[in-house]
Amino acid sequence: MGASDAPPQPTGVNRSGERPSSDEVGETTDEATVHEGGVQLERTIGLVGGLAIGVGTMIGAGIFVFPGIAAGKAGPAAAASYAIGGLVALLVALPASELATAMPRSGGGYYFISRALGSLAGTVVGISLWLGLVFASAFYLVGFGSYAVELLARVGIALSWPVPPTTALGFVFGAALTGMSFTGTENTAKLQNGVVALLLVILSVFLGYGGLDALGVFGRSSAPETFAPFGTTPIITTAALVFTSYLGFAQVATVAGEIKKPGRNLPVAMVGSVLIVTVFYVATIFVATSAYPSATLAGFEETAMVEVAETFFGVPGVVAILVAGLLATVSSANASIMSSSRAVFALSRDALLPKKAGEVNLTYGTPHVALMLAGVPVLLLVASGRTAVLAEVASFLHLVMYGLICVALVALRRRTPEWYDPDFRVPAYPLVAGAGAVASFGLIAFMQPASQVIGAVLMVAAAGWYYYYARDVTLKGVL
């Protein structure tokens, strides 16, 4: 993609009277995102790294929190609920893949929406994405602390600290992950690859054995139960509940400016990560509901998979699944902190946030100020220990972005600007994008009123920031 074919760049002035610098106009290559002033961010993340970001962000609550709750609501048919959630995610991943190959820049959904729908929509989505990922990261880190404390307790180590151990451990690991992100994207990607690989090995062994056991290979009888004991409606409502498990695939697009060979790797990583986690989620429900009746699983609540693991493998199984839970929460937090910083970085490059936020460290080639703006709020939220509601608010903000990504695809296809030349095109795009938008916006209706109100307030505040600070910034070529 040459400079003349590049997506539109920011023009105009911001609130301080500064015009975006000339190095914000440039091109992308397979090796780096290049600007007139030099290299912005190097492309150091390969296909495996892209898949690890998507899979690592998603495999978490879907396996380690929701199975007992979902089985209690839909019975064994909760497997169908997960499949529906995967289908909805796929309807968004396909449009996002096309947009990402046309605009392989940092910022993901923010960048796509701002170029298609304008700087106001882009600002609201960009700030919402930043905050949503901050909230999600804090939730993951508190979950990490909980799993770590439970694991230590199972091996006979009880922590007695002035500060709640779950909070302290989450804070320490959050600081460590943020610090690692400072030293280079390649280091962060290597950690993500290793964590996700080990996590998938543990889960594959556990689910493989459990699946064979459920099929009677080991002579064990499965719990007899009707597939949909509560009818068909709970299958849909449960799909809305567990959809929060599918919020990770778009984080691949958020770091698109650092993905090698983006025309090939971006679509494969986004679509592939959705398909991989869907298989694991459906297998998890199959194994869990084969080991215990739905009512029993519902009684276990968030610890259902720990109990299932103990049934199959005893104490070693409990330790293994707790370790897997630790790995899942670490990988989710790691990917979310990195993606959140890239949303800030993209907003700054477009002069919608102060230019300082987009500075790149000359030693490590990472956006260090943006990382601070992502990591510090995460640590403050972890220290507060109050993250449960914020997790669903993060889902609200993501679903708004997903719906607008689908709208952005339709807008750009109809307008067909000169620079829009994606390497991947969605087949039957009006149908796919339309269904993705309706499904994304529709799932918001099933959320708690408190989460809906908080999410709406944050979006209004983001719009207020735009009118206060960045209303004079325009983007060439937008609709």
At 297-353, the pLDDT tens digits run 888 877 788 888 888 888 888 888 888 888 888 878 877 888 888 888 888 888 888
Q: Kindly state the average pLDDT of the residues 383-408.
A: 84
> How confident is the model at residue 7, as a pLDDT?
56
Residue 34 has pLDDT above 50, yes or no: no
3 state DSSP class of 421? coil
* 221 or 393, higher pLDDT: 393
Q: Kindly state the average pLDDT of the residues 230-239.
A: 86
- Quick check: 108 and 339 in contact, CB under 8 A? yes
Q: Kindly state the average pLDDT of the residues 7-30.
A: 45
> How confident is the model at residue 13, as a pLDDT?
44
* 343 or 224, higher pLDDT: 343
The runs of H, that is alpha helices, within 220-314 are 233-242, 250-254, 262-291, 294-300, 304-313
- Quick check: 379 and 391 in contact, CB under 8 A? no
User: Per-residue pLDDT tens for 258-273?
Assistant: 788 888 888 899 999 9
Rounded to whole angstroms, how far apart are CA atoms 197 and 429? 34
> How confident is the model at residue 388, as a pLDDT?
64
- Quick check: 212 and 337 in contact, CB under 8 A? no
Give CA angle at 128 (41, 255), nearest 5°. 20
Architecture of domain 42-471: Up-down Bundle (1.20)
> How confident is the model at residue 96, as a pLDDT?
92
Mean residue pLDDT across the chain: 81
Tokens of 286: 């199959």
* 48 or 16, higher pLDDT: 48
Least trusted range by pLDDT, from 178-187, 189-198, 397-406, 460-469: 178-187
The highest-confidence range among 169-178, 182-191, 361-370, by mean pLDDT, is 169-178
Burial label for 416, CB within 10 Å (0-12, 13-18, 19+), is exposed
3 state DSSP class of 106? strand
> How confident is the model at residue 6, as a pLDDT?
52
* 65 or 275, higher pLDDT: 275
User: Per-residue pLDDT tens for 201-210?
Assistant: 888 998 998 8
User: Per-residue pLDDT tens for 114-137?
Assistant: 989 988 999 999 999 899 888 888
> How confident is the model at residue 242, as a pLDDT?
84
- Quick check: 97 and 424 in contact, CB under 8 A? yes
> How confident is the model at residue 272, as a pLDDT?
93
> How confident is the model at residue 9, as a pLDDT?
52
Tokens of 39: 């290299």
> How confident is the model at residue 22, as a pLDDT?
31
Give 232's DSSP letter.
S
Rounded to whole angstroms, how far apart are CA atoms 408 and 437? 10
User: Per-residue pLDDT tens for 281-294?
Assistant: 999 999 998 888 88
3 state DSSP class of 314? coil
- Quick check: 98 and 422 in contact, CB under 8 A? yes
Q: Kindly state the average pLDDT of the residues 433-454.
A: 89
Largest CA distance in the chain: 75
Residue 457 has pLDDT above 80, yes or no: yes
Helix (H) or strand (E) holding 28: strand 26-28
Bridge partners for 106 per DSSP: 255
Residue 223 has pLDDT above 90, yes or no: no
| Domain spans in the chain, listed from the N-terminal domain onward | 42-471
Residue 254 has pLDDT above 80, yes or no: no
The CB-side HSE value for 23 (13 A sphere, CA atoms) comes to: 13
Write b or e for each residue in 206-215: b if 16 or more Cβ atoms lie within 10 A of its Cβ, otherwise e: bbebbeebbe
> How confident is the model at residue 11, as a pLDDT?
46
3 state DSSP class of 21? coil
Rounded to whole angstroms, how far apart are CA atoms 352 and 73? 44
> How confident is the model at residue 434, as a pLDDT?
96
Please name the residue that has the structure tokens 């902190």. 337
> How confident is the model at residue 27, as a pLDDT?
54
* 350 or 410, higher pLDDT: 410
Rounded to whole angstroms, how far apart are CA atoms 283 and 443? 24
